[in-house]
Amino acid sequence: MFRRSDIEMRVLILAPIGRDADLLAQSLKTIDVESAIVPNVETLLKEAPLGVGAAIIADEAISPEDVHELTSWLSTQPPWSDPPFIILTPGGQSKAYSNERAQQFSTLGNFTLIERPMRPEIIQSTVRSALRGRMKQYEVRSRQEELLRVNSDLEQFAHSASHDLKEPLRNIRIFNELLLKEYGHLLDQRGSGFLDVVGTSAFRMENLLADLLAYTQASSIPDERPGLTDARGALDAALGNLNAAIEEAGAEIIVGDLPAVRMRGSHLQQLFQNLVGNALKYRRVGYPPRISIASSSAGEFWLFSIADNGIGIAPEHREKIFGIFQRLHTNGQYSGTGMGLAICQRIVERYRGRIWVESEPGEGSRFLFTIPA
Ligand code: ADP
């Protein structure tokens, strides 16, 4: 059902000595399993990428170098793929010998040792269960591909929608302004009130669309490792953009030593801008914001933190706030689109980092994120 062709379920047999290979192929045919006999590991490695359900390999046909070659090939497999190997070992060997062989083959991961002389029902049942497992892997592949497809469709949709809606909305806002300016005097207070609502709604929607667009763009980060960005420079650029809000709030900003990280500068700046912007916005009445930005090395990651003395966040909301359009307040209380933290999460996760918050209501918040060093 999930295989693309029959070849993906075939069993490759590598047993060059005697009649083992033919006997195995015949035995598998009786349970409707297709197989192909290969003379050596080199051919096995040529055939396997075309499709392999399982491989049966005679122990004596494979040297430690061959195991190494196979292991290298396995390391190129996508995450869903873990081809099963069935290794035929000579009978009557000591326990120490079996242990040693098992040790040698362990890098193949998904392998089973079968001792000779082979009993047909044992090899048949082993192959059956190996193929069953392989089919499950193909199922995972299908689901993964489906998910990727749906995701990319959704992303495309969000991108086009936010892009294409921009222009008509801009017209609504501009013509609304013109209407107010040139014909406002013909309207009574009620009429102007209506136009006001049109104007603020259009403005709000423009902000929502701009954030939605930023969100979809945050996902189009290329896979290759970016160059080093000086985090202090990115923070300074973000603080520059927030200058008016910092002055207005009378905020104190404390900055520790910041490293250079492998990120696009614009992404790091966006992270700082959203997080420091929130720290300024969600301040407690009567308490000038005190915002500390720091970083430390945490194993393979850099850990950044942005701590404030603001209103804080209740435990039940600490995960939810990273969702798109998720807000804890009305626009009357604090303006916003509910997209800032979703954008932050998207950026951080694209770099294989993590973002979370530690906070208590009324006791400030500390947003933390990691970026691979
Ligand atoms: P927005 O600020 O536009 O609402 P965000 O995604 O940036 O959207 O934030 C989501 C919600 O998380 C906010 O509505 C707010 O309730 C909460 N929040 C974010 N940052 C802080 C903070 N520093 N202190 C308290 N609450 C915060």
On the question of pLDDT at 351 being above 70, the answer is: yes
Of 367, 351, 356, 231, residue with least CA distance to 300: 351
Substitution candidate for ligand 1 out of 270, 305, 329, 341 with most atoms within 8 A of CB: 341
Nearest residue by C-alpha to atom 12 in ligand 1: 321
Mean of pLDDT over the chain: 92
The confidence band for 1, taking pLDDT boundaries of 50, 70 and 90, is low
- The amino acid occupying position 135 is M
Of 216, 195, 295, residue with least CA distance to 254: 295
Q: Quick: pLDDT tens for 205-254.
A: 998 888 888 888 886 655 667 889 999 999 999 999 999 999 999 999 99
Q: Are 295 and 304 in contact (CB under 8 A)?
A: yes
Torsion of CA 145, 150, 152, 156, to 10 degrees: 160
Does ligand 1 have an atom closer than 6 angstroms to the CB of 279?
A: yes
Torsion of CA 137, 140, 146, 148, to 10 degrees: -100
Whose structure tokens read 């992404």? Answer: 267
Does ligand 1 have an atom closer than 6 angstroms to the CB of 341?
A: yes
Q: Are 366 and 258 in contact (CB under 8 A)?
A: no
pLDDT at residue 304, as a whole number:
98
Does ligand 1 have an atom closer than 6 angstroms to the CB of 291?
A: no
Q: Quick: pLDDT tens for 269-308.
A: 999 999 999 999 999 999 999 999 999 999 899 999 999 9
In the three-class reduction of DSSP (H, G, I as helix; E, B as strand; rest coil), residue 45 is classed as helix
Does ligand 1 have an atom closer than 6 angstroms to the CB of 327?
A: yes
| Residue 155: other Cβ atoms inside 10 A | 14
Does ligand 1 have an atom closer than 6 angstroms to the CB of 282?
A: yes
CA of 327, closest atom in ligand 1: 14
Q: Is the pTM of this model over 0.85?
A: no
Nearest residue by C-alpha to atom 4 in ligand 1: 338
Q: What is the mean pLDDT of residues 167-189?
A: 94
The confidence band for 92, taking pLDDT boundaries of 50, 70 and 90, is confident
Alpha-carbon gap, residue 36 to 190, rounded angstroms: 83
Q: What is the mean pLDDT of residues 253-279?
A: 96
Q: What is the mean pLDDT of residues 324-335?
A: 86
Long-range contacts of 250-253 (CB under 8 A, 24+ apart): 250/288, 250/289, 251/280, 251/283, 251/288, 251/289, 251/290, 251/291, 252/288, 252/289, 252/290, 252/291, 253/291, 253/293
- The amino acid occupying position 128 is R
Structure tokens at 69: 């070659």
pLDDT at residue 212, as a whole number:
87
Does ligand 1 have an atom closer than 6 angstroms to the CB of 215?
A: no
pLDDT at residue 221, as a whole number:
59
pLDDT at residue 223, as a whole number:
60
Q: How far is the CA of 173 from the centre of ligand 1 (A)?
A: 27
Q: Are 59 and 130 in contact (CB under 8 A)?
A: no
Does ligand 1 have an atom closer than 6 angstroms to the CB of 3?
A: no
b (16+ CB within 10 A) / e for 325-344: eebeeeeeeeebbbbbbbbb
On the question of a cis peptide bond just before residue 49, with omega within 30 degrees of 0, the verdict is no
Q: At what angle do helices 120-164 and 166-183 cross, to 10 degrees?
A: 20
Structure tokens at 137: 């892997």
pLDDT at residue 279, as a whole number:
98
On the question of pLDDT at 16 being above 90, the answer is: no
Q: Are 288 and 251 in contact (CB under 8 A)?
A: yes
pLDDT at residue 69, as a whole number:
95
Alpha-carbon gap, residue 120 to 124, rounded angstroms: 6
